Amino acid sequence: MCVCMCVCHHRPHAIAHIVDALRANRLLQLRVLILAGNRVGEQGCQAVARYLSDSRSITQLTLARNPLGDAGVKQLAEVGAHTYTQGRTLRTHTGTHLN
């Protein structure tokens, strides 16, 4: 399953609520999550990091064109370092892949 919310310009706290709702649904085997252009900031990165730490089904996460901030990128990198990430792709606003 894929969830694509590209350029919806949600408020930063709304993205956190959406991601937390996805996290709460344990039956959902989400493979791809695209949140490009949604003002995902540090609060959103925190929610995404929590989701990634719980979900083993995600294989691709796209956060292009978002103001992630240094703290947000750090949170995502820490999750990547502490969880199984082989085969996962994180696409940042620069197109850089962090595996």
Q: Which of 46, 52, 15 is nearest to 32 (CA)?
A: 52
Name the pTM for this structure.
0.76
Report the pLDDT value the prediction gives residue 47, as an integer from 0 to 100.
Answer: 92
Q: Tokens 């792709």 sit at which residue?
A: 89
Check residues 69 and 12 and name the one with the higher pLDDT. 69
Find tokens 């979900």 and name the residue. 55
Strands 89-91 and 2-4: unpaired
Task: Give the chain's mean pLDDT.
Answer: 77
> What is the fold of 2-91?
3.80.10
Question: For tokens 């929590």, what's the residue?
Answer: 50
The mean pLDDT of 6-15, rounded to a whole number, is: 70
Q: What share of the chain in percent tops pLDDT 90?
A: 6
46-66 pLDDT, tens per residue? 999 998 888 878 878 888 888
